[in-house]
Amino acid sequence: MLTISETRRRYAAGETTPTALLESLHQEIIARDPAIGAYLSHDLDSALAEARACDLSLPLGGVPIGIKDNIAVYHQPATCGSRYLEHFVAPYDATVIRKLRAAGAIPFGRLNQDEFAMGSSTENSALGKTCNPHDPTRIPGGSSGGSAAAVAAKLAIATLGSDTGGSIRQPASHCGVVGLKPSYGRVSRYGLVAFASSLDQIGPITHCVDDAALLLQAMAGHDPADSTSLNAPVPNFLTEINAGVRGKKLGIPKEYFGEGIDPEVRSLVEKAIAALAAQGAEIVDISLPHTSYAVATYYVIATAEASSNLSRFDGVRYGKRASQVADVLDLYQKSREQGFGAEVKRRIILGTYVLSSGYYDAYYSRAQKVRALIRQDFQNAFSQVDAILSPVSPAPARKIGAAVTDPLLDYLSDIYTIAANLAGICAISVPCGNVTSEEHTQLPVGLQILGPPLAEASLLQIAKAAESATLA
């Protein structure tokens, strides 16, 4: 496992160089990734050019970072896992890419995802499936499945993903790596292809909590190009990361440990909670009473925003353009019919319906009111505790193809993650053990830690303590 810190140490010791490391990663991707499918593409020549000119004195000097394929990197593909953008090349750097470059990092590789980030398994990519490195018959999670699988397979030192309803944390849990969703507004969304603009957030997927803190440090901060970016001070996330959990109050929501959770998943999460208690944390029972409404609320708001955001894909300005059309309306219809996959079409239809005349008040307006109640649940909880602990997913990674005829199976798998996006809070997944499948493979399980808005420094402290307990 080559972490960012270990990579930097090897550079400093003269044990390797950024160009040598990139050449090695390239060879590993060529040899092993065809069986996993984490990468859609990687441009070695561009990365080597950056590596030759990199400044090793910078915080991320010479460290290659894999990028989910919905985050713009200048002159690199940005397909979003869709036939619609199969040949699209980004004309600029996203703000997070610009900031990573300023810290010395080298963007390297485009990582597979569910089409337009709509999915929980990476099976919805139109450009190929991604397998879980721990068991290739199972999903890696989604929508940032390629990002998580690349780290878990040691085909990337660290990666970026995006999280709209758990799309960083859930694949991190399924693949046994660390996945951080920052608070809404902590990290700029400029250059992220929008799915649901009030929910989307970019974050890191890494081998360890320290690496997640390093990447967040580089990416966080106000961006005038993003109107939702918060103009809030960015603390040093590493200063107190080893401070431990003694004296911290950690809440256990009863709604996250009820029916539907796999008994082995529950046992591993409870062991992780006990380990934090043994380190001095105070465990407090709490309630998030509107949890049962979160899935329905999310799938009204997210699909409504997706319907609006994806209206820009019309066959005229960029992306897929159908041929042999009768008129402009026919161009719109055929381009979207040919370019979008089944899940994207499903969500556009749902979103258009809930926004339509006669249904707006019954669905979208009501969902926004319930969202306010969910946010209030978290505000009430954080008046009592410093953070909340829960599973990331009700079960380990399922078999590939198990939800083909039942999309609701995947929708419900996000029950523990989507509320954090609705509330705009920060959250992280940290590995807490493995369950053994019927085929005797080891399937990772993640502990989810939820913190108040802009409380990433405290969240990372708790995550580091949980990680230390698991590794002990």
The widest CA-to-CA distance across the chain, in whole angstroms, is 70
Q: % helix / strand / coil in the chain, to the nearest 5?
A: 40, 15, 45
Please list the residues that pair with 443 across neighbouring strands.
435
| Helical (H) or strand (E) element with 238 | none
Q: Report which of 62, 56, 64, 60 is spatially closest to residue 28, judged by C-alpha positions.
A: 64
Could you tell me the strand order of the sheet in which 106-111 lies?
39-41, 106-111, 64-68, 158-162, 202-206, 178-181, 426-436, 442-451, 387-391, 249-253, 282-286
Cα separations (Å) of 378 from 217, 290, 383, 424?
25, 10, 9, 10
In this prediction, what percent of the chain has a pLDDT beyond 70?
A: 99
Residues 6+ apart with CB under 8 A from 191: 71, 72, 90, 92, 93, 94, 95, 96, 97
Mean of the per-residue pLDDT values for the chain? Answer: 96
Please list the residues that pair with 132 across neighbouring strands.
135
* Number of other residues whose CB lies within 10 A of the CB of residue 46: 16
Q: Report which of 327, 337, 325, 328 is spatially closest to residue 84, judged by C-alpha positions.
A: 337
In which residue are the tokens 């420094």 written? 457
The pLDDT of residue 270 is: 97
Q: Is the pLDDT of residue 409 over 80?
A: no
Tens-place pLDDT, residues 117-131: 999 999 999 999 999
The pLDDT of residue 312 is: 94
- Contact, 134 vs 109, CB < 8 A? no
In this prediction, what percent of the chain has a pLDDT beyond 90?
A: 94
- How many whole angstroms separate alpha carbon 50 and alpha carbon 41? 17
Residues with active-site annotation? 68, 143, 167
Q: Is the pLDDT of residue 216 over 80?
A: yes
Indicate the range of 188-202, 232-246, 392-406 predicted with least confidence. Answer: 392-406
Tens-place pLDDT, residues 289-306: 999 999 999 999 999 999
The pLDDT of residue 194 is: 97
Give the chain's count of helices (H) and strands (E).
15, 11
**Which band of pLDDT confidence, cut at 50, 70 and 90, is reported for residue 317?**
confident
Where do runs of H (alpha helix) occur along 37-189? 44-53, 95-102, 145-152, 169-175
What is the average pLDDT across 322-343?
Answer: 94
Q: Report which of 393, 307, 317 is spatially closest to residue 351, judged by C-alpha positions.
A: 307
Concatenated DSSP letters for 89-100?
B-SS--HHHHHH
Q: Is the pLDDT of residue 421 over 90?
A: yes
The pLDDT of residue 412 is: 76
Tell me whether strands 282-286 and 158-162 are parallel, antiparallel or unpaired: unpaired
**Which band of pLDDT confidence, cut at 50, 70 and 90, is reported for residue 446?**
very high
CATH number of 1-472: 3.90.1300.10
Cα separations (Å) of 425 from 171, 378, 398?
19, 9, 27
**Which band of pLDDT confidence, cut at 50, 70 and 90, is reported for residue 171?**
very high
What is the average pLDDT across 381-401?
Answer: 97
Where do runs of H (alpha helix) occur along 234-365? 263-278, 294-309, 328-339, 342-355
**Which band of pLDDT confidence, cut at 50, 70 and 90, is reported for residue 143?**
very high
| Helical (H) or strand (E) element with 120 | none
The pLDDT of residue 405 is: 67
**Which band of pLDDT confidence, cut at 50, 70 and 90, is reported for residue 407?**
confident
What is the average pLDDT across 182-189?
Answer: 98
For residue 282, give the DSSP letter: E
- How many whole angstroms separate alpha carbon 337 and alpha carbon 350? 16
The pLDDT of residue 150 is: 98
Q: Is the pLDDT of residue 390 over 90?
A: yes
**What three-state secondary structure class fits 136?**
coil
Buried b (16+ CB within 10 A) or exposed e, 413-428: bbbbbbbbbbbbbbbb
Kindly tell me the burial class for residue 52, based on how many C-beta atoms sit within 10 Å of its own C-beta (0-12, 13-18, 19 or more): exposed
The pLDDT of residue 259 is: 86
**Which band of pLDDT confidence, cut at 50, 70 and 90, is reported for residue 139?**
very high
Concatenated DSSP letters for 358-392?
TTIIIIIIHHHHHHHHHHHHHHHHHTT-SEEEEES
> Nearest-5° angle of CA 310, CA 344, CA 294?
95
Tens-place pLDDT, residues 54-98: 999 999 999 999 999 999 999 999 999 999 999 999 999 999 999
The pLDDT of residue 268 is: 97
In which residue are the tokens 């004296």 written? 247
What is the average pLDDT across 277-283?
Answer: 98
